Amino acid sequence: MAQVIVVTSGKGGVGKTTTSAAFAAGLAMRGHKTVVIDFDVGLRNLDLIMGCERRVVFDFINVINGDANLNQALIKDKRNDNLFIFPTSQTRDKDALKRDGVERVLEELRKTFDYIICDSPAGIEHGAITALYFADSAIIVTNPEVSSVRDSDRIIGILSSRSRRAERNEPPVDIHLLLSRYDPDRVAKGEMLTVDDVKEILSIPLLGVIPESETVLRASNTGTPVTFDGDSPAGRAYLDAVARFLGEQREMRFVKPEKRGFFRVLFGRA
């Protein structure tokens, strides 16, 4: 049974696209046929993060309008056979994302994919609402920072009142918290909200904590989902989150300050 997962946050710049790319790649690495769709019409960026920007010919809006079929628009990842990218259009017409068209495309994708990841735009406008409307599960990407937590709370409210599951009185969308850009050193100093603070305030189950990591920028520079970088703490944290999503128990890593060895203290960050 295919599952539609929306990656959303309300606030911009918290790591939705990074998370969509990393999570989709992680699910594919675990053997699940996965497609990741860019819902940010007009501000296409998933293609860059996934490193397939030069292979985009047709897009989501073309398929919705019937100008292209799915097979023409889906881009197969060159690193993993289970992974597909569905880029969005650069049109400035935000209403191009029609709900019945989106529904038709998602239904067709459900036939061939295990997981359909919807990378939501920021905000609570048409694009964001359309991205979350058909979701079975939601990953709320939150930074340990006041405005991000507040906006996450808002989006959680919208998921539980305006999603299709809510409108049809079906079982509610399965909502998960993913805390990203977490800095254990600053948390230890009392300068940043702790994992438990954010969990308590939002009261949704925690899927994972992604540490602030230089490797995230390195991954986006090269167009590589961070989960493909085995050395990266953020990549490993995302793979843990994917495993938890699939029902496995994994201990939370990267939530305590790292013990620095003598030489690391002497010579700075190694």
Partner 1 sequence: MSLFSFLFSPRPKSAAIAKERLKIVLAHERASRDAPDFLPSLQKDLLACVGRYVQIDDDMIRVSLGKSGETSLLEINIEIAGAKAKSGAGAAAAV
- Which residues of this chain interact with partner 1, rule CB under 8 A? 145-146, 149-150, 153-154, 157, 187, 189-194, 197, 201
Residue closer to partner 1 (CB basis): 103 or 145? 145
Contact between 34 and 114 (Cβ < 8 Å): yes
Q: How many other β-carbons are positioned within 10 Å of the β-carbon of residue 220?
A: 19
SS3 234: helix
* φ, ψ of residue 252 in degrees (nearest 5): -70, 120
Residue closer to partner 1 (CB basis): 147 or 222? 147
Identity at 68, one-letter amino acid code: A
Q: Rounded to 10 degrees, what is the CA torsion of 74, 80, 82, 83?
A: -40
Q: How many other β-carbons are positioned within 10 Å of the β-carbon of residue 25?
A: 28
Residue closer to partner 1 (CB basis): 3 or 142? 142
Residue 167 beta carbon to partner 1: minimum distance, rounded to whole angstroms: 16
* φ, ψ of residue 111 in degrees (nearest 5): -70, -30
Residue closer to partner 1 (CB basis): 171 or 190? 190
Residue 232 beta carbon to partner 1: minimum distance, rounded to whole angstroms: 26
- Cα–Cα–Cα angle for 127, 128, 130, nearest 5°? 65
Residue closer to partner 1 (CB basis): 146 or 217? 146
Residue 197 beta carbon to partner 1: minimum distance, rounded to whole angstroms: 5
Residue 186 beta carbon to partner 1: minimum distance, rounded to whole angstroms: 8
Residue 12 beta carbon to partner 1: minimum distance, rounded to whole angstroms: 19
